[in-house]
Amino acid sequence: MLRREGLYSSLISSWRTARDHGAEQALARPVGRPKADPRDKQIESLQAEVERLRAELGKTVR
C-alpha cells in the first residue's frame, strides 16, 4: 500500500530524522516567558520624564 502511494522506507526515515531534530530544537528552548529587557524599563522612565518636562515647560511658557 505504501509503495502504491509513493511512500518508501527512506522517505519515512527522513521524516523521523526531521521529527527528532525538531523535537530537540523545541526542547532546547527555555521554558516560560522571556526575561524583560532592562532597556525597555529605562526607555519607559525616560519617556515619562520627557512628558513631565514638556508639561512643566508648557506651564512656564504660557
Cβ–Cβ < 8 Å for 2, 8 = yes
The percent of residues above 70 in pLDDT, for the chain, comes to 98
pTM here is: 0.43
Mean pLDDT of 29-50: 91
* C-alpha torsion angle, residues 22, 23, 26, 30 (rounded to 10): -140
Domain boundaries of the chain, sorted by first residue: 9-29+37-61
Q: Which of 27, 7, 8 is nearest to 19 (CA)?
A: 27
* pLDDT on residue 31: 83
pLDDT confidence bin for 42, thresholds 50/70/90: very high
* pLDDT on residue 32: 85
